[in-house]
Chain A
Amino acid sequence: MPFEATIADFAAALRDPAAPPPAATRGRKGAPDGRRFAVYRNNVAVGLIGAIEARYPVTRRILGEQAFRGLARAYVQAEKPGSPVLSAYGGSFPEFIAGSCEKLGPPYLADVARLENAWVEAYHAADADAASLADLAALDAPDLAGARIQFHPAARLLRFATPAASIWASQRDGPAAPPRGQGEDVLVTRPEADVSVRILPVAGYAFAGRLRDGATLAEAAEALPDRSEFGTHLVGLVASGAVRSIIPGERP
């Protein structure tokens, strides 16, 4: 059999848990051996499930060990990594949860998983210095209105219909009664070594979202109920370490 065909058969049998061992493989008795081939199938599943467990520890705690493992097994069966860099694997697991387990877990489960995914992305994001409050203070007021924000590579904005961040925080160190409440807007970033998760104030998501999409500060301030509060929101963003740099606008 040509090399390509042998490997294609092997890969197909790896993907299908019900498939017999590939015809070209041999155990010691000179024939394909299901238990031998199962070692490979098991290695693939266990390794990838382990990657999902490591990426989503709080989701796992909320759902319970056994139910989470079943869900992770179904996910890794359906979604193989697109590269050998496993820190980039599993980003679509929250959507898999949202699409598949309405009856399995509480309604906030997919949101908690989305937050955990953002946490891991921030953890591995490129290192960069964050702008400081001193950098902000050094700008003259006339420069501010037209200024734009370059976000830190680790910064991520998330909007949840559930109190996912409060739940995540309450469950991190052990089982706890999940807080009740409204939806939460969240800013995840990592200016130095530690990932930070902050719940944004009302209208903070809209303000930061406009800045992320390239708006000037004056344009972003229009998203606020009271435009004069843009300074408070801006200081909050800078103090969180989510801002890479502030690019002064041209004076009118």
Chain B
Amino acid sequence: MNMGIQGVGVGFKAEHFEAILESRPKLGFFEIHAENYMGAGGPPHRRLEAIRADYRLSLHGVGLSIGSPAPLDLNHLARLVKVAGRYQPELVSEHLAWSTHEGAFFNDLLPLPYTEETLERVAEHIDAVQSALRRTILLENPSTYVAFAETTIGETEFLAEIVRRTGCGLLLDVNNVFVSAANHGFDPFSYLADFPVAAVGEIHLAGYADDTDEAGLPLLIDAHNSPVREAVWPLYAEAIRMLGPKPTLIEWDNDLPAWPALLAEARRAERAMTAPARSLEPADAV
């Protein structure tokens, strides 16, 4: 499943390409959104080839709609297979979410109820993806803003059963755990304690934004537009305590910072991973 990624990585953005090539920082890996490299050719592929020559790569799909009731889009699956074949990523991951309905792509990671019926459908879809890719993938726990009346299975139990049925691994998004816990009123540390940690092949860290719902209760939004929030670092430290060192990604997709600020976030995660007790120190403490 993980053929050699270690340490901390960041999402690769074209805006940082020059800075990366000039400084060649030591980093565990770069992660890319698969859909950004599904064009036929051009500069995106040139840049990624240059990055790939020097760094390990994690391929993160955001459009397969694995959590959809409808069959997978086989054209899109073929595109994913092509990108994976071309760049030979060490990791491939996708989401427990849906994004396409009747041919329309909604460009968001949308939630699904957790029931026996949806479990079966998701497992079928992951089987199909893994067969097409001829490898296992990591499935990411979502951040959600609503629950469903018909849900009968807890999220950690749902994920554990998916792992059992398909042999896939999991991508533990610690920020998503924090966001969903705040949004639905559960304890994020209890969620971690219930998480099928043996299957975790990668961790995500990101920033969230604050809002409130109609009842005036906190509503956290998985915005990927800021540094990792202070409240999330202790949860990451706990995840590392449970899992040991795991490849960890800093996800920063919107309102991109200058390269040094993103690299500083990665260095902070490195310190937290290798010395969990120090993870509460501010980012600029060395």
Residues of chain A touching chain B, judged by Cβ–Cβ distance below 8 Å, are 1-4, 6-8, 10-11, 14, 21, 23-29, 32-37, 39-40, 43-44, 47-48, 51, 80-89, 122-128, 153-154, 190, 193
Contact = CB atoms under 8 A, between A and B. Distances in A.
A184 to B, nearest CB: 25
B35 to A, nearest CB: 5
A124 B42 contact: yes
A43 to B, nearest CB: 4
Contacts of B118: 3
Contacts of A44: 106-108
A168 B276 CA distance: 54
B108 A47 contact: yes
B101 A27 contact: no
17 contacts: A7-B112, A25-B148, A27-B146, A27-B214, A39-B221, A44-B107, A44-B108, A47-B107, A47-B108, A48-B107, A84-B63, A84-B64, A84-B100, A123-B43, A125-B40, A127-B42, A153-B41
Nearest to B40: A126
A86 B215 contact: no
A35 B213 contact: yes
Contacts of A43: 107-108
Contacts of A127: 40-42, 45
Interface residues of B, number: 57
A37 B146 contact: yes
B122 to A, nearest CB: 10
Contact of A193 (B43, B76, B106, B221): B43
B183 to A, nearest CB: 8
B11 to A, nearest CB: 16
Interface of B: 35-36, 38-46, 62-65, 68-70, 73, 75-76, 79, 98-108, 110, 112-113, 115, 117-118, 121, 145-150, 183-185, 211-215, 217, 219, 221
Contacts, number: 156
Given A6-B150, A153-B41, A36 B101 contact: no
A28 B211 contact: no
A40 B36 contact: no
A179 B99 CA distance: 44
Given A1-B150, A124-B41, A125-B41, A28 B121 contact: no
Contacts of A154: 42
A80 B69 contact: no
A27 B106 contact: no
B101 A8 contact: yes
Contact of B214 (A3, A36, A86, A128): A36
Contacts of A125: 39-42
A24 B104 contact: no
B145 A40 contact: yes
Contacts of B65: 84
B115 to A, nearest CB: 7
B145 A37 contact: yes
B214 A84 contact: no
B105 A83 contact: yes
Contact of B104 (A39, A80, A87): A80
Contacts of B183: 28, 36
Contacts of B35: 84-86
A83 B106 contact: no
Contact of A153 (B40, B100, B148): B40
A34 B215 CA distance: 10
